[in-house]
Amino acid sequence: MKTLLVEKFRSAYGRAPEICAYAPGRIEFIGNHTDYNGGTVLGAALDRGVWVALAGRADALRQWVSDQRPARVTSRAEDGAKRVGVESWVNYPLGVLAALPEFGVAAPAGFDFLAMSNLPSGAGLSSSAAIELSSALAFLEMAGARVARETVVKIARHAENHFVGVPCGILDQGVSGFGQKNQLVWIDCRGPLFATVPLPAASHFWIFNTHTKHALVDGLYAARHRECMTAAQALGVGLLVETSSTTLAAAQAALAPESARRARHVVEEIARVALARTSLEAGDLAAVGQLLTASHRSSQLLFENSTEELDFLVDALVVSPQVFGARLTGGGFGGAVMALTSAAFGEAEAHATAALYREKFGATPEILHAQTGDGATLI
C-alpha cells in the first residue's frame, strides 16, 4: 500500500512524500458509549484504515488531497478555521494540528498532505480516528517530536473533542493506536489504561454496512453524552462508572425515565465488557456472543441509538447456528452491524442475510469479512 500511496502523492504534487503513516479503523467489539462514561471497552483494530503522506514546504501554504474527495483544499498556517461542506474532511487533520501546542509541540507550518483510505465510509469503523492517528504520527515526525503512544492517542482524541466537536471517549483512538493482530484492545477509560486480550482462533468478524445515516456531529451522539452526564449528576457521581446496578435501582424513582434508561444501559454494558473479557480468555465464544447480542438489545431498548435497519440485521443474523452474536458497532444511529461467527459462516450465508435485508429495505448492505490488524505506525 505504501507504493500506491507514494504514487498518488507524486500524481498530486509532482514529488515524493517525506513521511508516510498509517492507522487502522476499528471494530467496537463491546462497550457501547461506555468510554466517555469512564467505563471499560473492548475493540479490534482492522487490517484496513487510512494512510497519510506528507512533505514540507518552504512557505506557509497547506495543501490537502484525499483519494475519497474530488477537489484539493488549500489553506495557510495562520488560518486554522474549520472547513465546511465537501472540505470538512480536512477538520480531522486540522484538529490534530490545533491540538499539538496543547501537548507542547509546535505545529508544522506549510506542507503538502495526502490521505488514502480503504475503509468503507459511514460504517461505524472510525475512519475519523484513523485519519487523526495517522496525521498525528506524520505531523509529530515532521516536528521532530518523540512522544509516548498514549500521548499520540490523546492528541487524536483532543482533535475530535475540541476541534471536530464530537464528545467521544478514548475508544476509537485507543484501539487504532494500540491494536495488534489477533488481539482485542481492552481500555479502562479512566486511566486510560490499555491492554490486549487474545482473540480465540475460531473467531470471525462480519460487518454489514447499511449505508444509513451515521453522522455523529449532527447532535445525536452529543445528546446521548449530555443525557449520561445529567444522569450521573442526578445520581451524585462524576461519571456513571462510579455507580452500580444496586444504587441505580434504588434511585430509579428519583430519575427521569430517559435518564434511568441511559444510565442502566451504561452500567450494565460495563458489566458486559468484564464478562466478555473473562469469556474470551476462557475461549467461550458462545458466552461472548450472548453478551454481544444483549449489548445490542440494550442499545435498541435503553440507549435508543439503534435503527430499524440495524435491528433487522441483528434479528436475521442471530437465528443462524453459525453466528455467536451480533450487535451494532460504533456510535449507532445508523452505520453497521458486527457479527461474531464461526468459520462455517461464509460468503453464502452473508449474502443470504444481505438478500433478506434487500427484500425488506430495497437496498443491499455492504459486506466486509473483517480481519484484525496492527495499530498506527510510521511506514
Residue pLDDT, tens place only, 53-72 = 999 999 999 999 999 887 89
Last residue of a domain, one of 181, 215, 233: 181
Is residue 304 included in any domain, yes or no? yes
Q: Are residues 48 and 173 in the same domain?
A: yes
Name the burial class of residue 288, with classes exposed (0-12), middle (13-18) and buried (19+) by CB atoms within 10 angstroms of its CB: buried
Q: What percent of the chain has pLDDT over 90?
A: 87
pLDDT of residue 212: 85
pLDDT of residue 350: 98
Whether the pLDDT of residue 218 is over 80: the answer is no
The Cα–Cα gap between 6 and 17 comes to 7
pLDDT of residue 214: 53
Q: Are residues 137 and 19 in the same domain?
A: yes
My answer on whether omega of the bond before 192 falls inside 30° of 0, hence cis, is yes
The residue length of the chain stands at 379
Q: Are residues 142 and 224 in the same domain?
A: no
Is residue 294 included in any domain, yes or no? yes
Is residue 35 included in any domain, yes or no? no
Q: Are residues 163 and 295 in the same domain?
A: no
Q: Any idea what the CATH number is for the domain that residue 235 is in?
A: 3.30.70.890
Q: Are residues 224 and 359 in the same domain?
A: yes
**Cβ atoms of 79 and 73 closer than 8 Å:** no
Is residue 344 included in any domain, yes or no? yes
pLDDT of residue 315: 98
Whether the pLDDT of residue 273 is over 50: the answer is yes
- Find, among 189, 206, 187, the residue nearest to 292 by Cα: 206
Q: Are residues 220 and 347 in the same domain?
A: yes
Q: Any idea what the CATH number is for the domain that residue 110 is in?
A: 3.30.230.10
Segment 101-123 shows an average pLDDT of 91
pLDDT of residue 213: 74
- Find, among 48, 321, 90, 365, the residue nearest to 209 by Cα: 365
344/201: higher pLDDT: 344
Give residue 261's domain range.
204-370
Is residue 190 included in any domain, yes or no? no
Last residue of a domain, one of 146, 181, 216: 181
Which of 165-174, 189-198, 239-248, 308-317 shows the lowest per-residue confidence on average (mean pLDDT)? 165-174
pLDDT of residue 217: 45
Whether the pLDDT of residue 215 is over 90: the answer is no
Segment 97-118 shows an average pLDDT of 97
Which of 141-155, 183-197, 212-226 shows the lowest per-residue confidence on average (mean pLDDT)? 212-226
Neighbouring CB atoms inside 10 A of 101's CB total: 10
3-state secondary structure the chain: CHHHHHHHHHHHHCCCCCEEEEEEEEEEEECCCCHHHCCEEEEEEEEEEEEEEEEECCCCEEEEEECCCCCCEEEECCCCCCCCHHHHHHHHHHHHHHHHHHHCCCCCCCEEEEEEECCCCCCCCCHHHHHHHHHHHHHHHHHCCCCCHHHHHHHHHHHHHHHHCCCCCCHHHHHHHHCCCCEEEEEECCCCEEEEEECCCCCEEEEEECCCCCCHHHCHHHHHHHHHHHHHHHHCCCCHHHCCHHHHHHCHHHCCHHHHHHHHHHHHHHHHHHHHHHHHHCCCHHHHHHHHHHHHHHHHHHHCCCCHHHHHHHHHHHCCCCEEEEEEECCCCCCEEEEEECCCCCHHHHHHHHHHHHHHHCCCCEEEEECECCCCEEC
Segment 335-345 shows an average pLDDT of 95
Q: What is the pLDDT of residues 25-50, one digit of tens each?
A: 999 999 999 999 999 999 999 999 99
Q: Are residues 112 and 241 in the same domain?
A: no
Segment 17-24 shows an average pLDDT of 98
- The yes-or-no answer on residue 311 being catalytic is no
Phi-psi label, residue 178: left if phi above 0, alpha if psi -120 to 50, beta otherwise: alpha
Last residue of a domain, one of 141, 166, 181: 181
Gyration radius (Cα) of the chain, Å: 21
Is residue 186 included in any domain, yes or no? no
Domains: count for the chain: 2
Whether the pLDDT of residue 181 is over 50: the answer is yes
Whether the pLDDT of residue 266 is over 80: the answer is yes
> What confidence category does residue 122 fall into, taking pLDDT thresholds of 50, 70 and 90?
low
Q: Are residues 246 and 306 in the same domain?
A: yes
Q: Are residues 108 and 253 in the same domain?
A: no
The Cα–Cα gap between 168 and 145 comes to 26
pLDDT of residue 278: 97
Q: Are residues 154 and 117 in the same domain?
A: yes
Q: Chain-wide mean pLDDT for the chain?
A: 94
Residue tagged active-site, from 35, 112, 172, 374: 172
Q: Are residues 53 and 114 in the same domain?
A: yes
Q: Are residues 274 and 132 in the same domain?
A: no
Is residue 197 included in any domain, yes or no? no
Q: What is the pLDDT of residues 1-16, one digit of tens each?
A: 999 999 999 999 999 9
Is residue 376 included in any domain, yes or no? no
